[in-house]
Chains A and B, each alone.
Chain A
Amino acid sequence: MRLKLVPETTNIDFFRAQYVTFGASIVAVLVTFVLLATMGLNFGIDFRGGTTIRTESTQAVDVGIYRGALDQLDLGDVSIAEVFDPNFRDDQHVAMVRIQAQDGAEAVTPETISQIEAALKTVDPAITFPAVESVGPKVSSELIWSALFAVLAGSFGILVYVWARFEWQFAVGTVAALLHDVIVTVGVFSLFQLKFDLTIVAALLTILGYSVNDTVVIFDRLRENLAKYKTMPLRDMMNLTANETLSRTIMTASTTLIALTALLIFGGDVIRGFVFAMLFGVIVGTYSTLYVAKNIVLFLGLDRSDKPKKDRGTPSEYANIDA
């Protein structure tokens, strides 16, 4: 007996509620911009400079006592947060202490760090410091730009590739869908003030790759169907295509989500934010494949007059390949 996530033949009209779904996407993107303008992102030290110290102790973490110990050092903005993880042992209590970049210093001096460590040791003698990371303001501001550049360069590379392999309308649809995914994911990080650091950018780029993968598979099928059914209205054909590939879309999303869920639960707290971003992005990416990319192509319209050169990209070109 087979597990079937999607019935053998489906006939879902993905455009029936198009104003609601597409509208919801636009609203989500706009809300993200508002959130970014008002709440901003909770940047990690990669992007705003400063130092994080990971503490570990056999005694329970008391954020208030830690703060009291550090207050006298006059370090400016200090944030202390306890870290929870199901993998921790019973007597393993972990906290993250974050200190702003100190004035005039490129990286925090060893003296400051040993002062902090000494202060925390007085309130909790069992404390150890498994990780200390410090990023100077010069590097952090460069990292912001290179991260932004990475996302834009990624989108542009995909735009060019999809344009070369398909029609330009598909390229626009694909890129709109993946920017939607990335922006909405960033919005969630802003809304919940989750820590946004360099690894989250890597996650965003992966979302880019996943989302485009998903979209391109449908477009590939659509291109095939365009050659097969010359007279079917575009909207019906898109529904047909989406239904034909729906089983694959759901299957792939499921296996990816299964793997990511395992990582989210067992992968440890160090990469939890990273995994969460990918998990969320895959869900949004699957949604946008079905509800955003096609709508844009439909909106832009396709030139379906019979031009022989259109055949260049159809699968027939591969049919003879010795694969």
Chain B
Amino acid sequence: MLTTPLWKRLLIWSIVALGIAAAAPNLFYSRVELHNDAVASIEKSGGVVTPEQEAALADWPSFLPSNLVNLGLDLRGGAHLLAEVHVADVYKSRIDALWPEVRDALRDVRDQVGSVRRQPSVPGILRVSITEQSAMPVALAAVQALAQPVVSLTGIGSNDIDVAQDGDEIVIQLSEAERAATDNRTIQQSLEIIRRRVDEVGTREPTIQRQGTDRILIQVPGIGSAAELKALIGTTAKLTFSPVVRQTTDAGADPGPRNLLLPAVEQEGVFYVVEETPVVTGEELTNAQPSFDQNNRPSVEFQFDAQGARAFGDYTAANIGKPFAIVLDNEVISAPVIQSAIPGGRGIITGDFTVEESTNLAVLLRAGALPAEMTFLEERTIGPELGQDSIDAGRLAALVGMIAVVVFMVACYGWFGVMANIALAINIVLLFAILSTIGATLTLPGIAGIVLTMGMAVDANVLIYERIREELRQKVSPSRAIEIGFDKAFSAIVDSNVTAIITAVIMFWIGSGPVRGFAVTLGIGIITSMFTAVYVTRLVIETWMAWRRPKTITV
């Protein structure tokens, strides 16, 4: 007689029961989703519950599992962006910040090196000339002393700057290890800032991921279009308050050393020459809010931190009557004239804003500036209607495919087909259970993967049944035939499924977006189908055999 030990039977049935419990929330998708949203927003607001949230909470008992399969962008609608961060931008500001230090270091040995000049160079490389060529080794040593050890796992033992001699100039640039460390920091900062900006808008489960060395993938469900998302995250939002040198209408004017020529946003053809070193930057803001100025125009109110407030107060006190520029991403938003000292660190930015723009600017200022610019390599917008159409189509196809396979199996294998179908149903349940538990994202190709799994899942059963048929033809007793059938088919089942898993793993590893979604459902589907075909079907057949004790069986 066929026997599976009791502990094993219990284990298999409890896995199945757990699977059913974990997959169940997906049957009540919108109800559970509202429940989860309510839980999340209550947590966020610190325990304040509105009546609607209470109703949503009551709709799904909290002791039941509430993990759902995430719907991908192609099913829910939303925007997808792939951004490339210009990590090299940061090198320039790092090197520019180094110049005063280099100057001071060389000043200490001025009696040997003579006068020191900064020479023009490509961004990210500092070139310094000295008049006394004979003292070059002394100068190099002085600059070299500024180098700091790199703080990173891979860069241990190297310094942050490379100092070299090129003719009569000292060339200073970031070392390889420091660049790698800087790149990493830049991406981490960008990720954090993008996450803050997207969270401010409050959409459901955005995906913000690093891809490769310098790319960031952003997927935001429910947002109207990629353009909207880009406006939110594509702006660097680098805010500075800079002293104005002069105003001009000449776009080609030479701003002079350490000054910048910046266009005015509001007045066409007007340019401002401002000092490169700002008085205060956006990093010193503690808060920013949309508001209205005294003329009832939309504006943004801001508050500096202690350090920023002091710097701003000192500067305004010393420069009454002179203009200063509020610069956002290298454009002068406005250039008011300082009427009086502003000691409290509070201020207001007025410009030609709409209410929406002032709200957005406040969000951007609160979240902080991006450390570097980004280019968008890929952008996709999927409307919610198209997503719903795809869900409907996928559901219909899955239903029709499932029914057709079920009917076909019964037609071919009779009662044994019914038992295989039980295993198939459990397979789909387990697949959804795993997808929900690991929080996988279901995409349209993913649904195709599930339908394909239904077709291929019965393969293991077919292999077993065909073997049993062969054994029965040899006049072997039914229970023996079943046992041999399972044992002999096992090797073929393993070999054929392992190769399929290899392809799923490779698709997941190399693929992106829809291909990944497909690989996940296909890979999990293969694993669950092996489990159900080998263990569940066997258990079902054993139970049936023990109950009916048939003298003969027809597979």
Contact = CB atoms under 8 A, between A and B. Distances in A.
Contact of B462 (A4, A138, A251): A251
Residue among A136, A255, A275, A315 with most chain B CB within 10 A? A255
By secondary structure, the A interface counts as: helix
B52 interface: no
Interface-central residue, A2, A87, A221, by most chain B CB under 10 Å: A2
Given A202-B515, A220-B491, A134 B378 contact: yes
B462 A150 contact: no
A133 B451 contact: no
A149 interface: yes
B377 A217 contact: no
Contacts of A157: 502-503, 505-506
Contacts of A114: 227
Nearest to A250: B462
Given A154-B506, A255-B459, A131 B383 contact: yes
A53 B554 CA distance: 56
Interface stretch (A12-20, A25-33, A72-80, A264-272): A264-272
Given A106-B377, A129-B383, A260-B452, A248 B462 contact: yes
Interface residues of A, number: 84
B499 A130 contact: no
Given A130-B385, A323-B487, A212 B500 contact: yes
B455 A209 contact: no
Contact of A136 (B376, B400, B401, B511): B376
A271 B444 contact: yes
Contact of A251 (B400, B466, B494): B466
Given A107-B377, A213-B499, A199 B445 contact: yes
Interface stretch (A58-66, A158-166, A230-238): A158-166
Contacts of B497: 213
A272 B34 CA distance: 33
B401 A133 contact: no
A188 B490 CA distance: 36
B171 to A, nearest CB: 31
Interface in B512-531: 512-515, 518-519, 522
A259 B401 contact: yes
A107 B378 contact: yes
A113 interface: yes
A317 B488 CA distance: 10
A110 interface: yes
Given A221-B492, A257-B455, A267-B394, A199 B514 contact: yes
B441 interface: no
A162 B518 CA distance: 24
A169 to B, nearest CB: 16
B304 interface: no
Contacts of A139: 82, 377-378
B412 A263 contact: no
B445 A146 contact: no
A102 interface: no
A321 interface: yes
Contact of B408 (A255, A268, A278): A255
Given A258-B408, A262-B401, A271 B448 contact: yes
Nearest to A166: B495
Contacts of A206: 452, 503, 518, 522
A205 interface: yes
B377 A318 contact: no
Nearest to B518: A202
A132 B381 contact: yes
B452 A133 contact: no
A8 interface: yes
Interface of A: 2-5, 8, 54, 56, 87, 106-108, 110, 113-114, 128-136, 138-139, 146-147, 149-150, 153-154, 157-158, 161-162, 165, 198-199, 201-202, 205-206, 208-210, 212-214, 216-217, 220-221, 224, 244-245, 247-248, 251-252, 254-263, 265-268, 270-271, 274-275, 278, 315, 317-319, 321, 323
Interface of B: 74, 82, 84, 225-227, 230, 375-383, 385-386, 389-390, 392-394, 396-398, 400-402, 404-405, 408-409, 411-414, 444-445, 447-448, 451-452, 454-456, 458-459, 462-463, 466, 469-470, 473, 486-488, 490-492, 494-500, 502-507, 510-515, 518-519, 522, 534, 538, 554
12 contacts: A8-B469, A87-B396, A136-B378, A161-B498, A201-B515, A209-B504, A217-B496, A252-B458, A255-B454, A267-B451, A271-B444, A318-B494
Given A153-B506, A248-B463, A256-B456, 4 more contacts: A106-B84, A114-B227, A252-B456, A315-B490
